[in-house]
Structure 1
């Protein structure tokens, strides 16, 4: 059955300290609770800064007041209280926040204390507890320190050696303002209006405009002769015509990665910085090699010791951005792309702040840089999330529209509340660079069914152990090859590698340990599947957030277990199809996925759900593990790609980079014709499976022998 998202019980629904805290804080008297203490403390901070005496204790009080205002605002918004009381409380909190802002404007060093990752000193923790206790609030227990505490942000900063070499090769990297446009003034008819909220609301109340006008492309080929789809060529032509900011919100499967890379080439926006989720960063380098082969790409792993500091395209994942933000900001980038841009929706999060900081530094250094935010999330969902994206693109700042947007709004002649303002305001934002196409809109451009590979880096301890096991398997086969070569009776001499003997050794290996779980090709593929499980589930969750229902396939139950745990942590409801289900339970889960809009994912066994199931309510399939045959893979995809499917179908294969997984994927594709011919015959299909297993071992042994002799 569909797994509902579990909710923790709310202790405020019963009696106890937290309920008492809420009663005191939300009572009818204004002089109880935390607000009076915050008001008194912020006035003391203000007077201290006005006197020019921002001592350490003043800075501590400023930070604690800001923290408690943030917490109290969240509590007031969630608490059950009369609306009038809520409005009054929020108004008082806004007054305190305004004093904090004006105080920080007098002493800008205070702004650093407002960051999400600002360290809370022991003195600040003590003051926070004292203020909460005095207000009658429940103070949570101080958690024990972790065994190995992560170092503070400055200590994590690194500068890879190759980057230092680039800086020495060109130590000046002076900004180029030759293409700068005259700076616009943001003053105008609407200068004193609150405009951010009306702009956001315009996407809920405004007209139908959801995508900017794009030029007609003059060619459907890249500079290197690769064919483009028309919708891709349109965006690239826009970049070539001089447009420099894009919120590219095409649905997954429409080639956003290729469009971004080719737009950078059209705009000559090199060096280009790409910030992407870990699960797709290897794919960015691969796509760059495919679409813009003249521009080298490098991927940052960990501290970046292996990167090429002279590359045109630098790819970094959100998780390690914090330790590289220093040198990235000074590298002289002329373009920046954030992939899965909804990752930066929370402007208080560290990764959002780093992305915004890098964008601001690039815009300050390079006039009219290329800035692209990629996300498949529909524009009308969670519109508040787009504040950070618009800020990244330079359309707004924290409080108001930037000059270009302000000028466009001013030219409408309308103000918030007037008839026609919302459609006009929406169009002003859209024209800055929002591009949104759905699969169904460009169905003529794309095939009805396509398979897209997503290579993922298994760079943790599990990944290292898998690669070590592959090396051990190769070493074992090499030893067997050498022994057979030494003792064979024919006496024949072969110059170089004896490929017939290689195949024979591979066949021995497969037949002696077929289906085992040890250090053979079967065991390794299972370990690779388990290592990929979390990454594959993360990608499926991103798809579900972007385009709706997703079908997730895996071969092994432990991989399905990891996926289901991941979806539960992400708050996604899911169904499941397993071989050990009763027919009734299986049908309930299928019905839940098909009919319940809240069930976002169905987790399927390749063997149990590969046939006889109709899941065409979805158009995206994630293959977390590789099958041994193209036939089995095709049968899985055909659960979605069926008669009656209204949209093109995309199957996303998650491939373990630098492992035998990648070779198996190549072999499956190369034998697709044989597998297709075998769809109706189990014997032929089994033969296709055996061929892939044998060829994988042959490739592993051949590579090891070539490496030894090379």
Structure 2
């Protein structure tokens, strides 16, 4: 991967957020990304409003823009693994006699631009995967490639094709470029004029043309078959007037559970999970793993598979270098004579490499990862070095911090129970006394807040003052964005051993695994994102069989995963049944839905046609959000952008008066509810904020930009300091709207919900968790529960941790409290809700893993009753198509470990395509 390593000059183009969003999937230039290691370097934004206008000019005024990119790949190119392979360039590395960097044939190397090299401004240095310089690209070849690298037009990866000689070394440079047709054509013409290889691209284009012809033929045949049915369907809808008034509520009679079941269809998201993932070990191997004895101070009896997990973790905290056997591989290192060779990157060294202590415990949700970690703490608490403490640090979501303390107390003998500190709120008063505890539990937010990247002196107190015995990241997929401040902070902690706990190590793509690798301190080169992409992700996407074997070797070393359905786990969980209950719109709901759908289709067409005068990406997101909200209740669908848009027409930056702050928060809420990504790190908005110029970012990302240039990276508007950033109106980014609706006119979905809750034939003592991502929808449900005489409690992001604990306790212990209204964002992590035997998913969106985690709060170890999951879906609506997208994402999570990451369903590259799918 090619990036500059120092300051350089560049032109800027003032792109709107929407323009940047449109080009992100394929653009060869990107905004900076947050760095975990190289905060002192500078880069800038590359221009190009159109691919055909390739400008290699430079602008001295913007030389101070910040390089915030981690590792050696300081552009979005580094992680855009959806790019096409254009061709291979055979050349050599020269000047090898002047450098000490070791490299062997077949080894991956990293290319870096050196625009300020005093001898050659086009210089390209070559490093091995450990960061030591091997040499540089010949002057004539560097002159040809430099402009492509500086303008992020090509991604370049290198592999040595021969041994290092006295003066040079042969190397193959793989050239990757954008997939977008317009940019591809412009770049192809430029490469042809520079006589750069394009053989792989031309072959791919021939395959594309062939597939396109096949698709067009299939579409013609499908359209011909469907034409008659479509005309009949359109005729049936001609009788609707425009936006008729809601119908009065019909009496909701009690239907039998059997009748409701007969109206539903079964839906089992776990079926796909029954395919054995290639996590390295087969089920038979997992079954025969050795067991460890339960620690004496543990009061709970461990299940056999949990004892196996304990033995595996103890072994992984004390890894041993590989022996001389041909098949003896440890953390991808093998011994060959007196050298150690990394089988992923082919890097070799005579010095014994450091091995990572720890790993990923990726057991299925509900298998007892918490008690296994407690057992590890009790079994193996002695520090490994004189500088280490004996304290274990657990980083967890706020809502489950108290659960760790309670679980430790519940599962240990009182006389040997570890001393536990909740390092949050008032617990921070103990910042200078952390080494006096056995276990410290903190949050990701508290960890990020204490992280000071520029501090070189070890603090005297706080989370960064100790060398921890071990660090445990609960819900470890939280750090999947390697540029988030929380991920960088976690990697910066000092510890003897490192663990991540997650039932979903992959949320969207294999890139999610990279953060885990970096946190665990795995050595050999994969800890660099450039090398991780080059060695693992790109080959997997190309269906390279060797890369599948490599992934298998990697996962068998660092990851242990057992599933509930594995025979030896033998949880004896009762059956679970998942059903889709399809609901028909009332006529007035149907009319509103069709109005929004027509508007969304028109907006999306304008956006694709680049009509930016009136339609922006935000408008499309909002109208699709309204479509989804109409499916739940028409009162949720409100226009929240028009007023702010009028203000922004007059001012590039709006004055931060209370009225405008509320409008900005409305725009931010749309971004959050639509699960949009940060335009800097291109990952989930974990701590979302919005600027006065109406651009939304992850707080850690934009703060790093502000610290260095005080300009919005989207529109170049001035940002004075961090105090001008506007946070969401409510915690967790949940909607803060005070929605009013006529309680006598429920939506069809609320009627369906009440039907299920009041159905005759429910098992005695049935308790239900109702999940929704909109707290305002939960507000609308409450009066109908009261009218039906149903006692309920509630958990959402606006409640304090204590209030959530009280709600959970009441739901679990009060036999009269039969319903828990739950915010999906809060209840998808950490909570134990086995008191319920029924879950209802009121709405759906892109990421199925979040919903699966929520359901697994009910269906987990400790569940004794047959469990039902109901998914409410409006018939022939956007929700039907969301289910189809979710199914593909579930396949992707497993395919990433079985075969290759699907290009088609990469979250960023198909954002607009997904929106189009939802509207067809």
Interval of TM-score (by shorter of Structure 1 and Structure 2): 0.3 to 0.5
Higher normalized helix content (fraction of residues): 1
Higher normalized strand content (fraction of residues): 2
Q: What TM-score do you get using the length of structure 2 for normalisation? A: 0.32
Q: What TM-score do you get using the length of structure 1 for normalisation? A: 0.41
